Amino acid sequence: GFDDPDGFRALAERLDAIDREHGTGGNRLFYLAVPPSAFPTIVRALQAAGLDRPGENGSWSRVVVEKPIGHDLASANELNDAIQEVFDERAVFRIDHYLGKETVQNLLVFRFANAIFEPLWNTKYVDHVQITVAETIGVEGRGAYFEEAGITRDSLQNHLFQLLCLVAMEPPVSWDADAIRDEKVKVLRALRPVEPSEVSDVTVRAQYGAGVSGGASVPGYREEDGVSPTSTTETYVAHQMHVDNWRWAGVPFLLRAGKRLPERVTEVAMQFRDVPHRLFRHAGGERPAPNSLILRIQPDEGITLRFDAKRPGSQPSIEPVAMNMYYGEEFGKAPPEAYERLLLDAVLGDGTLFIRRDEVDCAWSYVDRLLEGWREQDLSELPEYTAGTWGPGEAQVLVAKGCLLY
Ligand code: BG6
């Protein structure tokens, strides 16, 4: 079991032996890729075996934990309190593997190493922002876990919120773990809280039914192993939110995540405002499209800027065109696995790409209200979408409210 003192004693002895043989200096990094309910037991057992204490000569002991950190704010607090009774916050590395992705880190480089985009990055020029995490897979044998989580806890509260923070944050004063995380927390604190009674106006949740994915018939969510045949857990969520601060006042952010959608695509799409005066409204060709910038996180990693151009010819005719950057072409090799980078950073003691406790707290405070709003609803009305399609028709309701889905 996770609390077997003999096992932890044996582990301590083994690590000491490795230190002696290989001169590893007494440093310890414990990676807890276990159900979160086991975190408190394990950290206490590490403490009882003396494994939590840095040794002599400046050696250290750290712990890496995986999401989900709890299932709401209260349970996250319990877990974090239990961990922090043993390990100092600076020794706790909470993983969100999205932060280990090169393209996610590039959001900050794109914004803060270039002079030409940042002046546009605000309510004056941005009409709305869409953040999409679409997956073709279903629950992949993790039905029992997913039943408890739903895509809101599984992805929205963490992966999508992290993308949102990096897109919306102010420039940090330095490239320092806390300077960056301070700015992310400010975004989370600026999120306009949703009243539970308004949740259905700004969210759509749905579940996939049987359909076709990758050319093969696939079962509906309720037929998956470990899932209740009357489950009301969502496998799709779309949510329109606002970052109420100077930069983003009035700009809707539309976040959506879904399983069993037709394509695997994670991207951030910024749509810019229209020109102030439509000189070319009578021109032929397609209707001038608003400018947009698409940051393709995966799988086709790259950046696309869409703008309008004149189609050659004597008549004024306008056509949307695109400028593309592809990571594969530019850099010629596949990016390293997210976990490679993150585990190396934990060894090096760099917390920049890990989630600080106040980030977890703020994210749950926001999401708790959505969950509460849903609890008050008649969930038997949960819309269904056919596996292999772009989610439920109900999501179009958000379109009508000013957010574009495509
Ligand atoms: C995990 C979620 O954190 O992220 C999974 O638990 C999801 O449900 C996965 O499929 C997506 O990760 P990636 O790297 O494939 O986008």
Distance 101 CA to ligand 1 centre (A): 12
Residues 67, 95 contacting (CB under 8 angstroms): yes
Confidence (pLDDT) at 35: 87
Atom of ligand 1 at shortest range from CA of 149? 6
Residues 138, 260 contacting (CB under 8 angstroms): yes
| Whether residue 154 has its Cβ less than 6 Å from ligand 1 | yes
Distance 155 CA to ligand 1 centre (A): 7
**The residue to which tokens 């190396």 are assigned:** 344
Ordered DSSP codes for 141-152 = T-HHHHHHHHHI
Confidence (pLDDT) at 224: 97
Confidence (pLDDT) at 124: 98
Active-site residue set: 159
Atom of ligand 1 at shortest range from CA of 98? 14
**The residue to which tokens 């990055």 are assigned:** 121
Q: How far is CA 41 from CA 8, 48, 236, 346, in A?
A: 12, 11, 33, 22
**The residue to which tokens 């400010």 are assigned:** 186
Atom of ligand 1 at shortest range from CA of 298? 16
Confidence (pLDDT) at 399: 61
| Bridge pairing between strands 384-386 and 203-209 | parallel
- Which residue's CA is the closest to the ligand 1 atom numbered 7? 155
**Residue in 97, 148, 256 to alter for ligand 1 test, most ligand atoms within 8 A of Cβ:** 97
Give the HSE-up count for residue 212: Cα atoms under 13 Å, Cβ half-sphere.
3
Residues 383, 392 contacting (CB under 8 angstroms): yes
Give the burial string for 180-190 (b: 16+ CB within 10 Å, else e).
bbbbbbbbbeb
Confidence (pLDDT) at 402: 52
Q: How many C-beta atoms surround the C-beta of residue 281 within 10 A?
A: 9
pLDDT tens for the chain, 406 residues: list them.
Answer: 788 989 999 999 999 999 999 988 899 999 998 888 999 999 999 999 999 987 777 899 999 999 989 999 999 999 999 999 999 999 999 999 999 999 999 999 999 999 999 999 999 999 999 999 999 999 999 999 999 999 999 999 999 999 999 999 999 999 999 999 999 999 999 999 999 999 989 999 999 999 999 999 999 999 999 999 999 999 999 999 999 999 999 999 999 999 999 999 999 999 999 998 888 877 766 667 889 999 999 999 999 999 999 999 988 888 899 999 999 999 988 778 899 999 999 999 999 999 999 999 999 999 999 999 999 987 777 999 999 999 998 766 566 555 544 4
| Whether residue 135 has its Cβ less than 6 Å from ligand 1 | yes
Cα dihedral 76, 82, 85, 87 in deg (nearest 10): -70
Distance 384 CA to ligand 1 centre (A): 21
Q: Is the pTM of this model over 0.85?
A: yes
- Which residue's CA is the closest to the ligand 1 atom numbered 6? 154
Confidence (pLDDT) at 152: 98
Instruction: Determine the residue type at 227.
Output: V
Coil, helix or strand at residue 209: strand
Burial of 2 (0-12, 13-18, 19+ CB in 10 A): middle
Cα dihedral 321, 325, 328, 332 in deg (nearest 10): 130
Q: How far is CA 257 from CA 17, 204, 206, 374, in A?
A: 47, 11, 11, 17
Burial of 91 (0-12, 13-18, 19+ CB in 10 A): buried
CA gyration radius, the chain:
23
**Residue in 67, 102, 152, 159 to alter for ligand 1 test, most ligand atoms within 8 A of Cβ:** 159
